[in-house]
Chains A and B, each alone.
Chain A
Amino acid sequence: MISLERLTKRYPGQAEPAVLELDLVVPEGEIVVLVGPSGCGKTTTMKMINRIIEPTSGTIRLQGEDVTTSPPDELRRRIGYVIQQIGLFPHLTIAENVATVPRLLKWSTDRTRARVDELLDLVGMDPSVYRSRYPRELSGGQRQRVGVARALAADPPVMLMDEPFGAVDPIAREKLQNEFLRLQEDLGKTIVFVTHDIDEAIKMGDRIAVLREQSVIAQFDTPERILSDPADDFVAEFIGAGASLKRLGLARVRDFALAHWPVSSVSDGREAALAALQRSTADSVLLLDDQRRPVRWANRQDLSRSSTPLERVGMSVTAVVEPHATLAGALDAMVSSRVGGVVVVDGRGGYIGTVDMGVIMAAAETMRAAAHERALAVEQSDLRAADVAVDLEQEQERR
């Protein structure tokens, strides 16, 4: 856990402080995203935690211990640090870069070497290929992975990440974000993540602190709540248009009731398929193979063309998602397919149900209602802090 108490930074010669009496708690094992317009002091705030920037006043606690005046170099070896420009050491090999902190901590050569290989594996880079390469031989995305590996080297409980995926192209960024979230599920680090991109904040954050000038917290909440119940106009404006759409990006298909289309097995023959179609109001039937994997969409006309074998009638099934996909992903697949529904399949590809427009609308309505209820509950609660505590508990239960 990291806690900041009345943290302030004044630069000499500047009338206004860059950060003004910030109080913030980053719960153990969570990603807290500091997001705000440029110049709001979010990076200054983050850099005060590892004292790259020395605070003017206030207290920083790391797992309860006051580190505001402890020796900065020792403090920094306990905190992973990833910056946008990455800052790999160009004259050192990838292995030497990753081994930086273990060497500072005087680990044995064997232990260091094993750890380097383990970390390169962890970030998806084959150690035997990349160990002895130099940073300039790597792509931007690969460098970023090495940067993360270097920060994780001595297994620090806390990580600071300053726009870590800001310098790579959008496709690589998306991939790195997903990989990092997957890593974090296992690692459970306590992370402060700085970005100016609200979409990234929503995706990465367990909690988001929306900051206005001087690092004043406009709202500190879960992504869902920030989207559904912005504290004020500043937050609403910062989220921008399309909050409902963004919310769909947070909801998982598995959490909502799926629609069921008429299905029929190819091996049961044409009559069975027609009968299944007859029994429902839908205009097409989903044909499955023997492992219940979706094969074709077929309507009545398709089925009546008896010259075509059943496994080739109608249209192929292109829009398929797994239960952990987001509703936004499902919606996207739906729009790009020609059928008004997306087939949800389990890990082996077997049919579970479908997502259609009705499911999406119902999900949006549920989320809106839930958010509204929570917002009311918060208003009624005298102690906002108590509410956060309850929230934390719920979240732990959910895990």
Chain B
Amino acid sequence: MSFLDFLARQGERIVRLGVEHLLLVLAALAIGTAVGVALGIVVARRPRARALVLGTTGLLLTVPSFALFTLLFGLIGRLGTAVVLPGLVLYSLLPIVRNTVTGLLLVDAAVIESAKGVGMGPVRRLLRIELPLAWPVVLTGVRVSGVLLVGIAALGTLVGGPGLGELIFSGLRIIGSPNAANLALAGTLGVVVIAILLDVLFLVVARLTTSKGIR
């Protein structure tokens, strides 16, 4: 069966898995962004805490994903999204935290001083001045995390997670049979398409949410 025939026959399933995949990544990214940006804000101007958090999140990224999922399964005791989602959140942290820290530290000291000078308190300064100015850098971190997660999420199938991994691993299970390559190819292409979609989505979001004054 040619790849095109395969697509025609399995199209519905591929799209369903693709949507699952995308939703999983978006959910992980949303949580990761909330946690990562908060962490970044807290540690940005505290050198010791910053080193600790960046070191830890960096270390997390070096743990092989299969191992991480297995470890989390041991911790949580359930399979499926319950394991994959926290795993993906952990993987998303490093780029988001690092870029939040970098973005905040890049804000011109004179701008912060004049925000103080006009009588803005720390919270207002953060929300009105520092975060909006750091925003393009933060968003780049989220985007990098997003693309990273699309790939890692494919491995989540091994612990019962949703998404396009199912196609790839089905192919792996029947390796040697005529459909194995089609399955793996469909899964891989799906992952690539989603990664590109996400990338474009974030570029659009960045464009829409960044002030014209700093674009």
Contacts and interface: CB of A to CB of B under 8 A. Distances in A.
Interface of A: 50, 52, 72-77, 79, 81, 83, 85-93, 100-101, 104, 134-136, 147, 150, 160
Identify whether the interface residues of B are mostly helix, strand, loop, or mixed.
helix
B111 A90 contact: yes
Contacts of B120: 73, 100, 104
B214 interface: yes
B121 A87 contact: no
A92 to B, nearest CB: 7
Contacts of A77: 118-119
9 contacts: A85-B108, A88-B114, A89-B115, A90-B214, A91-B213, A92-B213, A104-B118, A104-B119, A136-B214
Contact of B113 (A87, A91, A135): A87
Interface string B102-141: 0000001011111111111100100001001100000000
B110 A85 contact: yes
A114 B121 CA distance: 26
B119 A87 contact: no
B46 interface: no
B121 A73 contact: yes
**Interface size bracket, B side:** 20 to 34
B111 A89 contact: yes
Contacts of A101: 118-119
B10 interface: no
B110 A87 contact: yes
Contacts, number: 74
Interface of B: 108, 110-121, 124, 129, 132-133, 211-214
A145 to B, nearest CB: 15
B113 A83 contact: yes
Contacts of A73: 119-121
A104 B214 CA distance: 23
A105 to B, nearest CB: 9
A104 B129 CA distance: 13
Contact of B116 (A76, A88, A92): A76
B213 A100 contact: no
Nearest to A104: B119
Contacts of B111: 87-90
Nearest to A100: B118
A207 B158 CA distance: 78
Given A88-B114, A89-B129, A91-B211, 17 more contacts: A52-B113, A73-B119, A76-B116, A76-B119, A83-B110, A83-B114, A86-B114, A87-B111, A87-B113, A87-B114, A87-B117, A89-B114, A100-B118, A104-B119, A134-B213, A135-B213, A150-B118
A50 B211 CA distance: 30
A88 B132 CA distance: 14
Contacts of A92: 211, 213
A64 to B, nearest CB: 21
